[in-house]
Amino acid sequence: MKRTNTSVLSTVVSGAIAATMICSAQAATDGQVKLGILADMGGTYADICGSGCVIAAEMAIEDFGGSVLGKPIEMVSADSQLKPDVASAIARKWVEDEGVDTIGGLVSSAVSGAVSKVNADSKNITLISGSASNSFTTKACNPYNVHWTYNVVALANGTVKPMVQAGKKKWFFITADYSFGHALEGMASKVINENGGEVLGNVRAPLGTTDFSSYILQAQASGADVVALANAGNDTVNALKAAAEFGLTEQMDVAGLLVFTPNAQAMDPATAGGMRLTSGFYWDMDDETRKWSKRFEQRHGAIPSMIHAGVYSVTTHYLNAVKTAGTDDSDIVMKTMKETKPSDFFARNATLRPDGRMVHDMLYVEIKKKEERKDKNDIYKIIKVIPGNEAYSPMLPQCNFS
């Protein structure tokens, strides 16, 4: 009896697995383009890619004309809650039951990793705009990943390299204790060592730490020239606040390795003023960026972060490719996307490499001091434009999906 039960069970299970495999082996090539936007609607990253990411995608669809391949473009959106399991469940439902062709937005590297796996199985395209890890085009690369906006390599090259070359040789890290923080610290340490600097020490602070004073004291005692903050969001803001309070900013430089515009706005200009960082986009760069950003601000109520602009740019590039290819077949669309150069207010001197990495000009900016600011949105001064090939690392041969 028991044996029969087990065999029935195993039949059901294997049947179910087989069914999923059949289902997931095909993307919806039905001529109906449907986008899914996964964002953080109410968590720590809601300001950098929450409802703003949905608005950016909507704007891209509207500006494109609202329809492609003779049918109106559809869009769905959902809250990833920054949880990989939630994100992959939503992604699976979208691509398997609802005919979603591509999933974009995607903030938090853990979430993007989960979605990218689901999409790779079903041959759906993943348009990553919000995540920092470089694994999507290295150790976890697949033919359907598109990584827009930025990554940890660009941040480390952009921010760390000029400081080491300017003689700031000794570094200390305050790192967010999860995959993103580790990746960023690792990449930055590599750049420091390659340029003749040294890393004196690090502390791994849990994500969501409120009080950084202990870590600031340790950084102060290290004798470093620069204290690098390999974290993001409120962690960066709180760490910088404590650094100023304990007088660290007067003895050492503080380098925020990943700062988004809303975070820069949340920092006290008296302490953040003069800090230099790398960004994929700044709203006030030229007329083109200002024009788009004004429209975005009217709908969203705040200036766009680089992720918002990235979502618009990648969505537009995807839709253009669908139109040119005349199909929503993922393989053909990916090929077209990689063959055409992305070009808009965001993507400058850009190419989408065969590994899925979008290489474009990055900006090395300085946070303005209080007296330099005209209003609350006037936060960065552009120091220089970093050419894409200097910011990003070369493609790995095993990720060449041309």
Q: Smaller CB distance to other proteins: residue 100 or 248?
A: 248
Is there a contact between 389 and 347 (Cβ–Cβ < 8 Å)? no
Instruction: Give me the least distance between CB of 264 and other proteins, in Å please.
Output: 9
- The angle formed by the CA atoms of residues 174, 82 and 297, to the nearest 5 degrees, is 90
Residue among 3 and 376 whose Cβ is closer to other proteins: 376
Cβ distance to other proteins smaller for residue 65 or 247: 247
Report the alpha-carbon distance of residue 141 to residue 197 in Å, rounded.
31
**Residue linked to tokens 């949905």:** 54
Measured from the CB atom, is 301 or 326 closer to other proteins? Answer: 301
Quick one: which H or E segment has residue 38?
strand 34-39
Hey, which residues does 105 pair with through a beta bridge?
38, 128
Q: State the nearest-atom distance from the C-beta of 293 to other proteins, in Å.
A: 17
Cβ atoms within 10 Å of 281's Cβ, excluding its own = 27
At position 264, the amino acid (one-letter code) is A
* Residue where the block lists tokens 């849990």: 206
If the CB atoms of residues 181 and 197 are measured against other proteins, the closer one turns out to be 181
Q: Closest separation between CB of residue 45 and other proteins, Å?
A: 7
Task: Give counts: helices (H), strands (E), the chain.
Answer: 17, 16
Partners of residue 362 on adjacent β-strands: 386
Q: State the nearest-atom distance from the C-beta of 37 to other proteins, in Å.
A: 18
Which residues partner with 38 through β-bridges?
78, 105
Strand partners, 74: 34
Q: Which of 123, 124, 111, 117 is nearest to 34 (CA)?
A: 124
Tell me how far, at minimum, the Cβ of 220 lies from other proteins, in Å. 8
Site of interaction with other proteins (CB under 8 A): 42-48, 50, 177, 203-206, 208-211, 213-215, 217-218, 220-221, 233-234, 237-238, 241-242, 245-247, 260, 262-263, 265-268, 302
The least distance separating other proteins from the CB of residue 158, rounded to whole angstroms, comes to 22
Least distance CB 308 / other proteins (angstroms): 13
Closer of 158 and 262 to other proteins (Cβ):
262
Other Cβ atoms within 10 Å of 266 Cβ, number: 18
Q: Which helix (H) or strand (E) holds 380?
A: strand 380-386
Report the residue number, 227 or 359, with the smaller CB distance to other proteins: 227
Could you give the CA distance from residue 245 to residue 214 in angstroms, rounded to a whole number? 12
